[in-house]
């Protein structure tokens, strides 16, 4: 089990570092980006259908779930997100990698479910999922690069500033290498502005663009 997890997750830190150079997620949701996401689904879903190991399915779903969201397939994105979060809970006690698996799966799954809720007009449910995404023990990538801020930023645009601040307070518990960003972002939010979240608009939700 441990050996398999090392094989599956060793590339994550390198992939997330690459994402630091990626443009923000919201700027890429045109037709070409949507087609890219759909192509990723078509190319990688056969692997999911053949995968029977929970760790392998979780690894694949970390990419397929946000890709389905960006492809515009809300039904598939919701189903994948629900399976992803369930697998995170199932593998939470796995020796060595359990908390990290749970952290990444819970973070990504809830961000996708929250964004789908927001797109469907359910702001309350979106806020619930945002906070659930922040209630994680972290993972190597989350602790190094921080949380994804896309859903939080979209809630800020709808005036839900308290939810975004509460999310950042939760994320501060695992992101201790943030160099003062959290307090800076919270200050801008409280003053009525929109922080420059930079690459944190793409972290964890754009890893599929760099997957093999």
User: Which residue in 139, 167, 143 sits closest to 153, CA to CA?
Assistant: 167
Burial of 10 (0-12, 13-18, 19+ CB in 10 A): exposed
Buried b / exposed e along 35-72 (16+ C-beta atoms within 10 A): ebbbebbeebbeebeeeeebbbbbbbbbbbbbbbbbbe
Return the SS3 of 88: helix
Cα distances (Å, whole numbers) of residue 111 to 2, 126, 135, 190? 27, 8, 12, 22
More confident residue, 85 or 15: 85
Which of 202, 117, 124, 105 minimizes the C-alpha distance to 163? 124
- CATH class of segment(s) 28-210: mainly alpha
Quickly state the pLDDT bin for 28 (edges 50, 70, 90).
low
pLDDT at 22: 45
pLDDT greater than 50 at residue 197: yes
Mean of pLDDT values over 134-160: 96
Given this model, what pLDDT does residue 114 score? 98
Report which of residues 19 and 197 the model is more confident about: 197
Report the C-alpha gap between 171 and 138 in whole angstroms: 8
Average pLDDT of every residue of the chain: 89
**Which among 30, 6, 34 has a CA at the least distance from the CA of 209?**
34
Is residue 109 a contact partner of residue 82, using CB atoms and an 8 Å limit? yes
Which comes out higher in pLDDT, residue 18 or 91?
91
pLDDT digits (tens, 9 = 90+) for 35-82: 999 999 999 999 999 999 999 999 999 999 999 999 999 999 999 999
Taking each helix axis from N to C end, the angle separating 161-171 and 123-134, rounded to the nearest 10 degrees, works out to 20
Minimum mean pLDDT among 4-18, 40-54, 140-154: which range? Answer: 4-18
Using one digit for the tens of pLDDT, what is the confidence trace for 111-137?
999 999 999 999 999 999 999 999 999
Is the distance from CB of 185 to CB of 168 less than 8 angstroms?
yes
Low-confidence winner among 26-35, 147-156, 178-187 (lowest mean pLDDT): 26-35
Query: Rounded to 5 degrees, what are φ and ψ at 113?
Result: -60, -40
Q: What 8-state DSSP symbol labels residue 24? A: P
User: How confident is the model over 136-140, as a mean pLDDT?
Assistant: 94
pLDDT at 14: 39
């Amino acid at each position: 089990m441990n050996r398999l997890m090392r094989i599956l997750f060793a590339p994550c830190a390198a992939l997330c570092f690459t994402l630091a150079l990626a443009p923000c997620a919201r700027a890429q949701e045109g037709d070409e980006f949507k087609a890219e996401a759909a192509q990723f689904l078509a190319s990688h879903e056969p692997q999911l259908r053949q995968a029977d190991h929970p760790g392998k399915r979780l690894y694949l779903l970390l990419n397929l779930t946000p890709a389905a969201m960006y492809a515009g397939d809300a039904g598939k994105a919701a189903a994948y997100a629900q399976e992803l979060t369930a697998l995170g809970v199932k593998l939470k006690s796995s020796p060595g990698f359990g908390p990290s698996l749970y952290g990444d799966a819970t973070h990504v799954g809830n961000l996708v479910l929250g964004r789908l809720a927001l797109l469907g007009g359910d702001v309350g449910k979106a806020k619930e999922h945002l906070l659930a995404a922040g209630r994680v023990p972290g993972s190597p990538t989350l602790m190094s690069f921080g949380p994804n801020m896309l859903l939080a930023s979209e809630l800020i645009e709808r005036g839900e500033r308290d939810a975004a601040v509460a999310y950042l307070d939760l994320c501060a518990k695992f992101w201790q290498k943030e160099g003062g960003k959290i307090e800076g972002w919270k200050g801008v939010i409280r003053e009525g502005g929109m922080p420059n979240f930079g690459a944190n608009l793409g972290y964890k939700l754009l890893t599929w663009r760099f997957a093999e």
